[in-house]
Structure 1
């Protein structure tokens, strides 16, 4: 079975689809992952074919990060043409003659490519987005309202998609040659079936969801077999007790240097060493910090973030690193949430946007994370959160044991097979 896995967005949006492709390959199928070209390296170690798509929008995000609302508003004017160019590139994926398409909603064109090809499709959702429930509000709602209006809050997902609907509609007609019968992606996804790629131990299906919406489990991509830690990282971990890990992925705040300083000071107050992962810039250990995959901060970093008890890295595979730390302090992206849960490490969440506050509250409610950090942080506030999290190690280990019995990728592969067989 030829399976086209189509995703757009950040690394956190693409990597789970590579994990799913790996499972499909093991099951004897022929997957192809299509996504932003900068992420082709995610698939290469697993010998998974990768179809590169334009990543202009990611370049744009890189250019405007940290430059304020004015830059974002100016940049927004060029987004629609970029969306059309990506959709036109997606049109070429039909040459792969897939038997089924599994798509991330951010790719926008997934269900219409399937319509053109006359094959079944399924949305792969890393968080609840399109199926309303009275049990909890939409995770991407920026404010919290009374529970009585939970179901109404789910309209926000369709509103997020709406600005690009005219572009998608015209592309569907002009590039795919499809006539009447356009339905918004939100409506198509809500009609199901969908693959909800998170663990029911984190968020079980509410009672008012259909059976086909039950979460299958996380789609986990292990570190490539040839990956080895930088010697500085390995030495740092071996030099003392497990440190605090702090990393915010692709998030960028107003004061990344100040946040890095607060994190380091907080870890020190809690009596812990710290690994600072700079990622896309959410944490900044200073202009003289190291370059490359990892390296110690040494004595020349920003004041307050240097010393033998601090290591600055760009990134490292979470499934390798997080089992070796005492606390994971991060932004609450579901990919990092999943990795920390599987590692059995307690968490501190400093959410930035989107679904991150939702997961932060959920983790705190499960007893595996301290109360979420909000806004400006100080060394004292970070230290208090780290100390609270250290007391949750037992609960975190118990949840990890439950997750060890799950295989979200295999469950998703079976759902895909069943959907194709029944179509």
Structure 2
């Protein structure tokens, strides 16, 4: 059966879906990924087919609207407003591209960025639909540790459940439901869908959560059609050649820490870079700063700090002692799989949740939201991650747990079972 994976988002959204698609194709299933054009060559290098989405996620994140989203991401109300402003310009294009790509498939795999409209596409086209979120599904649970946004973090209580029903579950629909119904009515000539109808269909969908239940445990009160299987990671790129400058830097002193914020942008990257450099100096560590989409580190650097461009985390993380990053699901999985104590500086969305769980499990210090980041707070967190033996031991113990989960193999098994029903 032909499989379409909707992988609309940043590299952190695309890479796990690429890993899943590669595993499915190796099982003999033709796979197409719907991605932004800036990911086309990379995805095709793995032998997968690509459907091009017209919305360039990188340019979107670098726009004033994207910077505004990042700036206000720690505030749920402002985050919702910023996301709706982004979708006002791009949502219908995204849905139309998915609709066109879905004409040529039998199985549709969506995630948080596409579930709202994928439910309709699968229903109208008669496709097998599987939701594969990379963060906890936006569904209610009594379990605090399991919820994407619990009211009471460490409690199993109906207060968490009803907060989920009243606040968490409506969130995606409040952001994207309007645009879905425009598409349904204008292009499909179908009646508008209600939030209740959408949620009922989503709850009946096979949902495979692509992260570790050791980090965010699987809810005990969810039905069997929802499962949590482990992170989806690409095999390490053993052909990667370390740049000579990086090799020389590593040999010139103690093991450094890693700092990188991936696709997270900002209106003033130089000022942010200055803050990072001061925190590194105060912590007494050496550091590798990855430029990312924001263009960090484009200022004069001390000899104790090296700026690098793109590099595979699976290889780079073998050469550092701790990681500082934004807490995207993919980067969090990569740093923990490498056994690194992790400092999370969440900017928006589920990054806040990953930061909470990393701290709760003793895998890193308390997260510092981007809007509360200071030199002193970051320097203290870096020192904790780099120098706390208990944190280092727990991070190393997590490596074996994550390796044993075999998240991709389990996901492929569930998908193939669903394709046969």
Asked if Structure 1 and Structure 2 have the same fold, meaning a TM-score greater than 0.5 normalized by the shorter chain, the answer is yes
For the structure 1 residues 78 and 353, does the alpha-carbon distance in structure 2 shift closer, same or farther, using more than 3 Å as the test?
closer
Residues 244, 267 of structure 1: 8 Å contact kept: no
Q: Structure 1 residues 185, 74: CA separation in 2 closer, same or farther (over 3 Å shift)?
A: closer
**Distance change (3 Å), C-alpha of 1:400 and 1:337:** same
1:88 aligned partner = 96
Contact in 1 for aligned 2:257/2:323 (Cα 8 Å): yes
Q: Which has the higher contact order (CA 8 A, sep 6+)?
A: 2
Match of 1:150, SS state, is: helix
Query: Equivalents in 1 of 2:62, 2:224: separation in Å?
Result: 40
Q: What is the CA-CA distance between 1:34 and the residue it aligns to? A: 1.0
CA contact (8 A) 2:129 2:205 kept: no
Task: Choose from 148, 158, 171 the match for 1:159.
Answer: 171
Q: Which residue of 1 is the match for residue 121 of structure 2?
A: 113
**In the alignment, structure 1 residue 123 sits paired with structure 2 residue 131:** yes
Moved more, 31-40 or 139-148: 139-148
Normalising to structure 2: TM-score of the pair?
0.86
Does the 8 Å contact 1:253/1:352 carry over to 2? no
Larger mean CA deviation between 167-176 and 364-373 belongs to: 167-176
- Aligned mate of 1:320, from 308, 315, 318: 315
Q: Distance in 2 between matches of 1:75 and 1:57?
A: 13
2:218 pairs with 201, 205, 230, which one?
A: 205
Which residue in 2 is equivalent to 1:338? 333
Q: How many Å apart are 1:160 and its aligned residue? A: 3.3
Secondary structure at the residue paired with 1:211? coil
The Cα of 1:274 is off from its aligned counterpart by: 0.4
Matched-pair contact (CA < 8 Å) for 1:137–1:153: no
Query: Conserved in 2, the CA contact under 8 Å of 1:88 and 1:175?
Result: no
SS in 2 for 1:40: helix
1:256 Cα deviation from its structure 2 partner: 3.8
1:104·1:123 contact (CA, 8 Å) conserved in 2? Answer: yes
CA distance in 2, matches of 1:192, 1:73: 28
List gaps (5 residues or longer) in structure 2. 73-77
Identify the range of structure 1 (335-344 vs 163-172) with the bigger mean alpha-carbon deviation.
163-172
Query: Helix, strand or coil: the match of 2:132?
Result: strand
Partner SS, residue 405 of structure 1: helix
Q: What CA distance in whole angstroms lies between the structure 2 residues aligned with 1:46 and 1:74?
A: 34
For the pair 1:412 / 2:406, whether they are aligned, the reply is no
| CA root-mean-square deviation | 2.9
Partner of 1:384: 380
2:229 equivalent to 1:222:
no
CA deviation profile, 1:222-273 (whole Å, cap 9, x unmatched)? 3546543332223322333321101111223565434433333333333321
